[in-house]
Structure 1
Amino acid sequence: MRFQTLATLLAGAMLSTAMPSPAADAPATPSIAGCEPGGPCATPLPVKVVVVSLFEIGKDEGDVAGEFQLWKTRRGLTQRIPFPQGFHDLYYNPETQVLGVVTGVGTARSTAATMALGLDQRFDLSRSYWLVAGIAGIDPEDASIGSVAWARYVIDGDLGHEIDAREIPADWKSGYFPRQTKGPNDMKGKPDPSGGEVFQVNPTLEKWAYNLTKDIDLPDSPAIAAERARFTDYPHGQEAPFVLEGDTLSAMTFWHGEKLTGWANDWVRYWSGGQGEFVTSAMEDTGVMQAVTYLDQIGRVDRDRVLVLRAGSNFTMPPPGIDAATYLLRENEGYAGLEASVENLYTVGSRVVDELLDKWDRYKDATP
C-alpha cells in the first residue's frame, strides 16, 4: 500500500513536470527596477500597444476626464513608470502589455516625448502598435461633435509663409500660403514635403481600423444635439456622432472661424496631392509622426504600425449668426462636445486595441 502511494506520488510529480500549468508556461514580465530612465536595460518591458494621449485636464483619475483618464482606469494601467525625460510619467499594464503616454500639448512636446520614449531602452517597442487618440476641432461640413475620425493623412499647418490678412492682395483668400509657392492662388502644382509637411498613415492599417469600427453606434446626448442643431447649413454637422475617415491638420495655433476652416481644407487638399479631406484640427500629430519616422529608421519602432484617431470636441467654426470671436471665447470656457468626444474616442479606439490583443499571435509579426 505504501509502495502504491509512493508510486502514485512519483507518477503525479513526473506528470506535473512534463505538463506544466498554463501559468507556468506564461513568461514572467521582465523587471526594469534596476534600469535608469533612458539608460541601458537588459530586461526591457514588452509593449504590444502604445496609447498616445496628448493632455489630461487635471488628475489622472477621479475628476473631469481628459484624453488619458479613461484609458488609465479602464485598461488597468496601474504600473507607474518614471519618465523624467518627458512631460508625464508612463503607465503600464503588465498583463496586457499596453503602455500609456501623455505627450503634452503641441508639436514640440509631442515630438520630444515620442522620441524620448522611442529611445528609452526600458521598453521593447519593436512590435508595438501606436494609437494616437485625442480630441479635436471638427469641420461641420464633414461631421458633428462627438464623431470620431481615422486619419489617412496628417498635415502640418505651421510651416509656411504668412502676411497679415490686412495687407494681402485683394484676390488672396488668406495671407498664409505654402513655402515654395507664390501665394494662396499658386497651390496647384506638386507639393514638396521635404520639410515634414505631410505624413501618410499606413493605408492598409487605417482601412482595417476603420472597417472594424465604422458600424459602432456612438451615444448621443441632448446637449450635443442642441449644439449641432445650430449648424443649419451643414447637414453632416447636424448628424448624430458617427465614425468616419478624415484627415487631420496639426498646428501649434488654436485657430477658429469659417475663413480659416476654408484655408484648412485648401491646405490639406494641397499637401495631400488632392487625396485628403480636412476633417479635424489638432496640435500634436505631426510631431508624433515625425519622431516615429526617425525612430523607424534605426529599428526602434515600426512606422507602419501607427494609427491616428481624433474625436470632435468642438467645431472649427461658429454656427450661422454668431461671429468667430464670440463662439471661440465661449467654447474656451468648456467644449460642448468634450465629454462625448473622450468617451467615443475610448470606445472606438478600444475596439482596435482589443482586436490586436485578442489576436496577438496573428498581428505581432504582420500588420492587418
Structure 2
Amino acid sequence: MATLQGKIAEIEAEMARTQKNKATEGHLGLLKAKLAKLKRELIEGSKGSGGAGGEGFDVQKTGDARVGLIGFPSVGKSTLLTKLTGQFSEAADYEFTTLTCIPGTYKYKGTKIQLLDLPGIIEGAKDGKGRGKQVIGVARTCSLILIVLDAMKPMTHKHIIERELEGFGIRLNKKKPDILIKRKDKGGITVIKPPSIEMTKLSEDTVKSICHEYKISNANIQFRCNASADDLIDVIEGNRVYTPCIYVLNKIDGISIEELDLLDRVPHYVPVSAKDEWNFDELMEKIWEYLDLIRIYTKPKGQIPDYEQPVIVPRAASTVEGFCNKIHKQLAKDMKYGMVWGTSVRHNPQKCGKDHQLNDEDVVQIIKKN
C-alpha cells in the first residue's frame, strides 16, 4: 500500500511542477488519468476494511433520505444531531469525541430524514489516515452531505474536506458530465461534438491520450458539454457519485455581524448556532430543497386524500409510475390509469398515464385494470 501511495505522491509532485499551457495539456491529461487509476486501486484495495462497513459504521438505511454530517473534530456535528433528532451523540470540547457513526432521524414536511453524525474527518482521510476511509465510504451512500464548519476557524477547513471527498470520487454540487462513450470494433478514437459546443478545456490529442491510458483504442466520444480532462476521466472511471452539499457554518454566536456578512458570500451555505438552535428553520428548509424530493398524497376510491402520510419520491423519478413503484412494484403493472389532482394537471381531476410528471403535493388515485 505504501508503494501505491508513493506512486500517487510522485505523480502529484510531477503535476505540481508542470506548467499549465497548450504544450503540456496532453501530458497533464495523461498524468491525471494515471492518478485516477492509482486512486481507484487504493480505494478498491481497502473495501474489505475501509468502506462503509467496519465497527460502528454499518448503519442500516431508514427513512426517505440519508444525510451525512462531515467536518473536522469539535465543530458541533454531535450537538447538531442531538438538537435536530433528539438522538444523543456525545459532545465535548475536546477532539475525536465521536468515534463511530451515530444515526438519528427527524421529520420535516412529512418526510423522514436519517441524519448520520460521522467521526471528525482529518487531512489525509482518503489515504487511510484515522478512520477517514470509513467516514467517506459512508458519505458516498448519502443523498446529501452537510459539511459542518466552525465559523471561528479558517475557511481552509472547507478546502481540505472538499479535497478529501474529491479524492474519494465524491463530486459536490456538480452534475455528471454530459459525455457519451460508445466503443466500436475499429476506426480509432472519433471525437464528436455539436457546433454549439466550443471545446476550450480539452484538445482532441488529450482525449486520445487519456483513452490510450485506459486501453480504449476504438470508440466514438461524444461531448455535449465543454468538458475538461477531469470530466472525461470521471466518465471513463464510472464510479463517481454526484452529491448535493450544504455548508453548515456553526458557532455564529461567536462572530460579529460584519464577519457573518463576509461569510455570506460562500455559496450553498447556512449559518447556525447548534447549541442555541439558531436558524434551524432555514437549515431544515435548505436540506429539503437540496434533497429535491416531492410529496404525493394518496386517495383511496370513495375516500378523502391521506394528507398525514405522503408518499415521498425524488423529483427525478416523480412520474405516476414512479409513485406506484414507491408503494409496490405490482401496483404499476395492475394500473389502468391514474386520477390526478394538483398543479401538474390542467383539470382537477385529470386522467393520466404512467409517464405523467407529478408535482409536489399532487393527489393521486390509481384505477386498476378489471
Q: Going by fraction, where is strand more abundant, 1 or 2?
A: 2
What TM-score, normalized by structure 2, do the two folds share? Answer: 0.31
Larger relative contact order, structure 1 or 2 (CA cutoff 8 Å, min sep 6): 1
Instruction: Provide the TM-score with structure 1 as the length reference.
Output: 0.31
